[in-house]
Amino acid sequence: MTYEQIKENEAVKTYIRQADASLGALGYTEHSFAHVGSVAEMTGYILQTMGKDARIVELGKIAGYLHDIGNLVNRVDHSQSGAIMAFRLLDRWGFPPEEISLIVTAIGNHDEGTGVPVNDLAAALILADKSDVRRSRVRTKEIANFDIHDRVNYSVTKAELKINEAQTIVKLKLTVDTHFSPVLDYFAIFTNRMLLCRSAAEKLGLQFKLIINEQQLG
C-alpha cells in the first residue's frame, strides 16, 4: 500500500477528522489534513534530500500522515496511542514487520514530551512536525480571544525548513510579525520542541539552525 492510497483511505480520513475535532474542542490549533499532509511531505523531503532510498522516503511520508491519529484517543500520550493505532492499520494492510517497525517507532517518538529521534524516520518526522508553524493553523478569527499558541502561530507569516546543498545544516527560517506576538513568546512555548529538533538533526548528521526575522538564534 502506498502513501497516496493511505491518503484516500476512508478510515484514515475519519480518524484524522475526528482527532482534529477533539483537539478543536480542547482549544488546540489545526491538526487536520493540512497539518498531516504538510508533515508527510516535509518528512519525505528531509529523507530524500539526505539520500535515503525511495521506499524509506515513502515510509516517512506514511508516518507523517498518520502521526497524529492518536489524538482520537486523547491528547495525553497521543504519540503512543497513535503508534498502536498505526500498527493495527499497517498490519491489516499487509505491511512487512520491518516497515511497520520503522513507521510505528517514528510515530511513537514524535512528541517532545517523550520522543527521542531513535532512527532516521523518527528524526525526520520530528523536524517536519515541529516546523509546521503558520497562521492558518489558528482556528479562531477573534484576535482578542487568542491564547499564546494562537498568537505565536498567527504571528508566523512564513516558515521554511531547508537542508543546505552540502547536507550539513538544516535551517528553520521564520518570519514573525511581532505586532501579534513577540519573539520571546515563541521560545516560551517552543523551547523544548527546538531542543528536540536539534537532537533530530544530529541523528541525521546535521546541525540545526533557527533563524527568526533574519537573526540566527541557534
Q: What is the pLDDT of residues 203-217, one digit of tens each?
A: 999 999 999 999 998
Give the span between the Cα atoms of 33 and 41, in whole angstroms: 12
The pLDDT assigned to 217 comes to 85
Say if CB 112 and CB 129 are below 8 A apart. Answer: no
Report residue 41's pLDDT band, with 50, 70 and 90 as the boundaries: very high
Mean pLDDT for 83-90 is: 98
Question: What is the overall mean pLDDT for the chain?
Answer: 96
Check pLDDT > 70 for residue 75.
yes
pLDDT in tens, 25-40: 999 999 999 999 999 9
Judge whether residue 218 has pLDDT over 80: no
Give residue-wise pLDDT tens across range 90-140.
999 999 999 999 999 999 999 998 999 999 999 999 999 999 999 999 999
Please state the rounded mean pLDDT for residues 46-63. 98
CA distance to 2, 34, 65, 202, per residue, from 94 (Å):
12, 27, 18, 33
Determine the pLDDT at residue 141: 85
What Cα–Cα distance (Å) separates residue 135 from each residue in 41, 86, 132, 142, 148?
A: 19, 29, 10, 13, 13
Does the structure show a pLDDT above 80 at 51?
Answer: yes
**pLDDT tier for residue 167 given thresholds of 50, 70 and 90:** very high
- Count other C-beta atoms under 10 Å from residue 7's C-beta: 17
